[in-house]
A and B are shown apart, each in its own frame.
Chain A
């Protein structure tokens, strides 16, 4: 066998992964952002191709998804495939981290977390699509301090959860008042969060750029959140 300097034969054709309309340089830039995350080297060490991660992965059973492909594409720096995965695969991951059973010490789920973050921050189509119908949840999470809340249990939102959801919804105020822990009597938050704590949480979102990330996937929601937070902080005399 003759070795050649032309190694292109060992790589996929650039158009196999699709997204031909996106320049290679742009795909390379995005992968560069993934690799620049401080956690990336902690999450990827190599791959034995043993498939343990795939066997343990719930998403691999129901989707055309493989944590091994994620680890391998990132490991061999396959820019085209990584881009395709950021547009198609990463939102299928369950983030259960069953894949960290990897004997090589890889964390494909962690690599996906980083890839998702870049997809959101850069406003990729996949991120916008994946987060459609998610606005109310993000609003709750960022503005109330307790993420999910009792009043999210509406029968039209959870018709497949059985008639008990309607019972909860119909009796919410009464059933919440029947809970003995004093912090649990609220209906719009999981528990009662004090004002000072909420303001501290808002400051974290402002100072870490987490709030700005929303703008790339949902501009309207970002505006509402910013207004709500700024108003509350201003009322309390806190400068951002």
Chain B
């Protein structure tokens, strides 16, 4: 008997989530109740904000401006065009931000890799960063999918366990910091989704000829899944809407593939010390499936580990004649390119491994001329004529 796919799809055509679903319970009640009890200060999302719908139908506030950029170690360290593109797009849209030096990483890459930490330490690291953001007057915007997922976990643990709150309060006291919890934990890709029409309004490059596949980050929508954005107009509300919503707003064609829900294979410890697993999973379960089923021009994703894994894993597979070879970047870099960003000065694609040049050509970008321009910048830096490149230098 064939699988009744049509019947299943019909059933899923209309999908509503609301107060009848017990999972739709809004954590904000508890968040504010704890504030009333003097347990912490809730850092309100500043105006103006955009209201978006989350998985179980609650509205999440995504502030447009005045954001404290909680940077990602892997983005800043290994794929710096990622964070640079986030800043660049925000600057072009005219929204102010704070790129702080009093921020540490969430340290969760290590925690999920080695477990050489504990719940108290992880919560204290998170709360120290939240307190630093509060002191600055700017609202935290989390660049990394794992930081975002881990901070949601920390929020859940702190709300549930008074003994953990007491431990962290004691440590914050020693640091001279207050207990602060943001009203919303916001991932940068949620900001891009919320701002997608403003971004598209400043688009200078045509993306209609570009086919993309999307890889959603596990820690974005699987960990504490109620915070993730879902939109009835994207995948009929059945999958998280971020990245796909942005790519479609920019006119790109997003193609489907069968292993969409699979992890990228990052594995935290695996990508560092057991990479045969990471490489195999990333190529066999993700890139090869995408190539065979969707043949994309680019893979778009929204997390540090996913960009790294899917991009870097292709080189060795290519040596074995596998069906790989597709550029990987964040939707922030893709959006920046759509808005006319320089592929090297801003998007820093020379840090990536899979060949992105055919994609640039399809976008109408002369990458050889762009590379020559970047080389001129490097000459100025090398000769001492320029100490650093600035925002004014990159257009």
- Residues of A whose CB lies within 8 Å of any CB of B are 37-39, 42, 56, 58-59, 61-63, 91, 94-98, 100-101, 113, 116-117, 119-120, 127, 130-134, 137-138, 141-142, 145-150, 152-153, 158, 160-162, 164-165, 167-168, 171, 174-185, 189-194, 196-198, 200-201, 203-205, 207-210, 213-214, 217
Contact = CB atoms under 8 A, between A and B. Distances in A.
B55 to A, nearest CB: 13
A207 B114 contact: no
A39 B154 CA distance: 11
Given A96-B263, A177-B389, A180-B84, A190 B71 contact: yes
Contact of A38 (B112, B163, B268): B163
Contact of A162 (B218, B280, B353, B377): B353
Nearest to A214: B116
A38 B105 CA distance: 25
A213 B122 CA distance: 14
A169 B76 CA distance: 15
Contacts of A131: 114, 116
Interface in B315-338: 315-316
A175 to B, nearest CB: 8
A97 B353 contact: no
A178 B72 contact: no
Interface centre among A38, A58, A153, A208 (most CB of B within 10 A): A58
A177 B115 contact: no
Given A133-B273, A153-B78, A179-B80, A197 B101 contact: yes
A120 B115 contact: yes
Given A95-B268, A160-B275, 5 more contacts: A95-B112, A146-B105, A149-B73, A177-B387, A191-B76
Given A134-B273, A148-B78, A193 B353 contact: no
Contacts of B285: 58, 61
A164 B351 contact: yes
Given A58-B281, A61-B281, A197-B101, A94 B121 contact: no
Contact of B71 (A134, A167, A191, A203): A191
B75 to A, nearest CB: 8
Majority DSSP secondary structure for residues of B touching A = helix
Given A58-B267, A190-B73, A194-B102, A204 B116 contact: no
Interface string B34-67: 0000000000000000000000000000000000
B116 A217 contact: yes
A-B pairs with the 7 shortest C-beta distances? Answer: A116-B115, A162-B315, A190-B76, A208-B121, A147-B73, A95-B112, A96-B263
Interface in B83-119: 83-84, 87-88, 99-105, 107, 109-119
A177 B388 contact: yes
Contacts of A142: 110
B270 A94 contact: yes
A120 B115 CA distance: 7
Contacts of A63: 277
A205 B378 CA distance: 40
B125 A204 contact: yes
A237 B270 CA distance: 40
A58 B262 contact: yes
A38 B78 contact: no
B223 A97 contact: yes
Contact of A197 (B103, B222, B345, B348): B103
Contacts of A208: 117-118, 120-121, 124, 167, 171
Nearest to B75: A190
A207 B174 contact: yes
B contact residues, range:
35 or more
Contact of B115 (A113, A164, A174, A185): A113
A176 B382 CA distance: 12
Contacts of B388: 177-180, 182, 185
B218 A146 contact: no
Contacts of B2: none
Interface centre among A134, A171, A190 (most CB of B within 10 A): A190
Nearest to A137: B272
Nearest to B386: A177
B115 A100 contact: no
B222 A101 contact: yes
B287 to A, nearest CB: 14
20 contacts: A58-B267, A62-B281, A96-B263, A101-B222, A113-B112, A119-B115, A120-B116, A138-B110, A146-B105, A147-B77, A149-B73, A160-B275, A174-B382, A179-B80, A180-B88, A180-B389, A184-B80, A204-B121, A207-B124, A217-B116
A225 B40 CA distance: 32
Contacts of B27: none
B241 to A, nearest CB: 19
Contacts of B117: 117, 208, 210, 213
Contacts of B26: none
B350 interface: yes
B175 interface: yes
Contacts of A189: 77
Contacts of B237: none
Contact of A178 (B105, B275, B345): B345
Given A131-B116, A177-B388, A184-B76, A97 B105 contact: no
A104 to B, nearest CB: 14
B368 interface: no
Nearest to A167: B350
A39 B163 CA distance: 12
B116 A146 contact: no
